[in-house]
Amino acid sequence: MDALMLDGNAAAGLLQEVFAVEMTTAVGTCDNCGASEAVGAVHLYRGAGIVLRCPHCDNVLVKVVHDEPRLWIAFPGVRALAVRV
């Protein structure tokens, strides 16, 4: 495993600040390969921000940058995101 890579569960606290639901169980569909996975099962890479990548094709699903007092979130590779409410 890459030293900068974790699983998507590492983004739970950050995503919980924005979304009022449990995000690790939300299921996203990759726009590149069509695979569907829970956020907790995707690959997370840390750097200046975080990048969530598809564990099947390595496509960038979500990019997050936290710079107080703002949080930037982009979903460039997510076709759909199913969240239990």
d(CA 57, CA 21): 27
Write down the pTM of the prediction.
0.81
16 or 29, greater pLDDT: 29
pLDDT at 11: 82
3-state secondary structure of 16: helix
Q: Per residue in 17-37, pLDDT tens? A: 777 888 889 999 999 999 999
pLDDT at 1: 58
Q: Per residue in 38-70, pLDDT tens? A: 999 999 999 989 999 999 999 999 999 988 899
Burial (0-12, 13-18, 19+ Cβ within 10 Å), 72: exposed
